[in-house]
Amino acid sequence: MTTTLSSDGLLQLRGQDLGALTLIHLISGLDDDNGQTCGAGTSLSGYTEWVSAQEPRLSLGWDWQLETHPSSARVVRLGLPRTNVQVLNAQEVPLSWDENLHALATLIDTIDWSTPAFEAVCQRYAS
Protein backbone atom coordinates (compact mmCIF):
# COMPACT_ATOMS: atom_id res chain seq x y z
CA MET A 1 0.00 0.00 0.00
CA THR A 2 1.41 3.35 -1.06
CA THR A 3 0.36 6.70 0.35
CA THR A 4 1.53 10.15 -0.65
CA LEU A 5 0.95 13.53 0.94
CA SER A 6 -0.90 16.06 -1.22
CA SER A 7 -0.10 19.78 -1.23
CA ASP A 8 -3.20 20.40 0.93
CA GLY A 9 -2.09 17.91 3.60
CA LEU A 10 -4.32 14.96 2.67
CA LEU A 11 -2.92 11.45 2.59
CA GLN A 12 -3.58 10.05 -0.86
CA LEU A 13 -4.40 6.36 -1.16
CA ARG A 14 -5.28 4.34 -4.24
CA GLY A 15 -8.83 3.03 -4.20
CA GLN A 16 -7.58 -0.49 -4.83
CA ASP A 17 -5.63 -0.30 -1.55
CA LEU A 18 -8.63 0.56 0.64
CA GLY A 19 -9.27 -3.09 1.45
CA ALA A 20 -5.72 -3.47 2.77
CA LEU A 21 -6.26 -0.84 5.47
CA THR A 22 -6.25 -2.11 9.03
CA LEU A 23 -8.20 0.34 11.16
CA ILE A 24 -8.04 0.44 14.94
CA HIS A 25 -10.48 2.17 17.27
CA LEU A 26 -9.16 5.41 18.75
CA ILE A 27 -12.12 6.97 20.60
CA SER A 28 -15.90 7.05 20.65
CA GLY A 29 -18.27 9.27 22.54
CA LEU A 30 -21.83 10.46 22.95
CA ASP A 31 -23.33 13.60 21.51
CA ASP A 32 -24.65 16.12 24.03
CA ASP A 33 -28.31 15.55 24.88
CA ASN A 34 -30.53 18.34 23.57
CA GLY A 35 -32.98 17.97 26.44
CA GLN A 36 -35.95 16.00 25.23
CA THR A 37 -39.53 17.12 25.67
CA CYS A 38 -41.44 15.10 28.24
CA GLY A 39 -43.16 12.16 26.55
CA ALA A 40 -41.05 12.37 23.40
CA GLY A 41 -38.91 9.48 22.26
CA THR A 42 -35.25 9.60 23.10
CA SER A 43 -32.31 9.01 20.83
CA LEU A 44 -28.74 8.00 21.45
CA SER A 45 -26.08 9.21 19.04
CA GLY A 46 -22.39 9.90 19.03
CA TYR A 47 -19.13 9.82 17.15
CA THR A 48 -16.27 7.41 16.60
CA GLU A 49 -12.72 7.87 15.35
CA TRP A 50 -10.51 5.19 13.85
CA VAL A 51 -6.88 5.31 12.69
CA SER A 52 -4.71 3.07 10.56
CA ALA A 53 -2.49 0.56 12.30
CA GLN A 54 0.38 1.46 9.97
CA GLU A 55 2.25 4.67 9.16
CA PRO A 56 1.34 7.20 7.98
CA ARG A 57 -1.65 7.50 10.30
CA LEU A 58 -4.86 7.70 8.34
CA SER A 59 -7.86 8.95 10.26
CA LEU A 60 -11.56 8.23 9.69
CA GLY A 61 -14.30 9.58 11.92
CA TRP A 62 -18.06 9.43 11.59
CA ASP A 63 -21.28 9.91 13.49
CA TRP A 64 -23.54 7.06 14.57
CA GLN A 65 -26.99 6.54 16.03
CA LEU A 66 -28.62 3.74 17.98
CA GLU A 67 -31.64 2.55 16.00
CA THR A 68 -34.21 0.73 18.06
CA HIS A 69 -36.99 -1.51 16.86
CA PRO A 70 -39.49 -3.51 18.92
CA SER A 71 -37.35 -6.65 18.80
CA SER A 72 -33.84 -5.32 18.23
CA ALA A 73 -31.38 -2.44 18.40
CA ARG A 74 -28.36 -1.66 16.27
CA VAL A 75 -25.79 1.08 15.85
CA VAL A 76 -25.64 2.61 12.36
CA ARG A 77 -23.41 5.14 10.65
CA LEU A 78 -24.94 8.58 10.08
CA GLY A 79 -23.84 10.65 7.12
CA LEU A 80 -20.43 10.72 5.53
CA PRO A 81 -17.08 10.38 7.33
CA ARG A 82 -14.54 13.03 8.27
CA THR A 83 -11.02 12.19 7.21
CA ASN A 84 -7.51 13.13 6.18
CA VAL A 85 -7.66 10.59 3.30
CA GLN A 86 -7.98 11.39 -0.40
CA VAL A 87 -8.78 8.33 -2.52
CA LEU A 88 -7.19 8.09 -5.95
CA ASN A 89 -8.76 6.35 -8.94
CA ALA A 90 -7.01 3.73 -11.12
CA GLN A 91 -5.20 6.52 -13.01
CA GLU A 92 -4.06 7.94 -9.63
CA VAL A 93 -6.25 11.02 -10.04
CA PRO A 94 -8.02 12.19 -6.86
CA LEU A 95 -11.73 11.42 -6.70
CA SER A 96 -14.04 14.38 -6.20
CA TRP A 97 -14.51 15.05 -2.49
CA ASP A 98 -18.06 13.69 -2.57
CA GLU A 99 -16.97 10.50 -4.38
CA ASN A 100 -14.07 10.23 -1.94
CA LEU A 101 -16.33 10.34 1.11
CA HIS A 102 -18.75 7.83 -0.43
CA ALA A 103 -15.87 5.42 -1.17
CA LEU A 104 -14.71 5.71 2.44
CA ALA A 105 -18.29 5.28 3.73
CA THR A 106 -18.52 2.06 1.74
CA LEU A 107 -15.30 0.87 3.38
CA ILE A 108 -16.64 1.74 6.84
CA ASP A 109 -19.80 -0.24 6.16
CA THR A 110 -17.71 -3.37 5.47
CA ILE A 111 -15.92 -3.44 8.83
CA ASP A 112 -17.26 -4.42 12.25
CA TRP A 113 -16.99 -0.99 13.84
CA SER A 114 -20.28 -0.74 15.74
CA THR A 115 -19.49 -3.31 18.43
CA PRO A 116 -16.13 -1.86 19.54
CA ALA A 117 -17.42 1.71 19.24
CA PHE A 118 -20.53 1.05 21.33
CA GLU A 119 -18.57 -0.98 23.90
CA ALA A 120 -16.11 1.92 24.23
CA VAL A 121 -19.00 4.33 24.80
CA CYS A 122 -20.50 2.04 27.46
CA GLN A 123 -17.15 1.79 29.27
CA ARG A 124 -16.48 5.51 29.00
CA TYR A 125 -19.83 6.64 30.39
CA ALA A 126 -20.56 3.78 32.82
CA SER A 127 -19.18 5.55 35.88
Number of compact structural domains in the chain: 1
| Distance in angstroms (rounded) separating the CA atoms of residues 108 and 112 | 8
Which ranges constitute the DSSP H helices of 1-127?
Answer: 97-108, 114-125
Preceding omega of 56 cis (within 30 degrees of 0): yes
Confirm whether 103 is domain-assigned. Answer: yes
Residue 121: give its domain's CATH number. 3.10.450.610
Q: What is the pTM of this model?
A: 0.86
Confirm whether 35 is domain-assigned. Answer: no
Q: Pairing state of beta strands 72-83 and 23-30?
A: unpaired
- Tell me the per-residue pLDDT of 9-45, one tens digit each, with 9 for 90 and over: 899 999 999 888 899 999 999 998 665 666 666 678 9
Say how many C-beta atoms besides its own lie within 10 A of residue 87's C-beta. Answer: 23
Domain that holds residue 15: 3-30+45-125
Confirm whether 38 is domain-assigned. Answer: no
Task: Pick from 29-38, 49-58, 63-72, 100-109 the range whose average pLDDT is largest.
Answer: 100-109
Task: Pick from 54-63, 72-81, 102-111, 118-127 the range whose average pLDDT is largest.
Answer: 102-111
Confirm whether 92 is domain-assigned. Answer: yes
Confirm whether 39 is domain-assigned. Answer: no
Instruction: Compute, in degrees rounded to 10, the torsion defined by CA atoms 3, 8, 9, 15.
Output: -30
Confirm whether 64 is domain-assigned. Answer: yes
Q: What residues are paired with 103 via a beta bridge?
A: none
Confirm whether 89 is domain-assigned. Answer: yes
Confirm whether 37 is domain-assigned. Answer: no
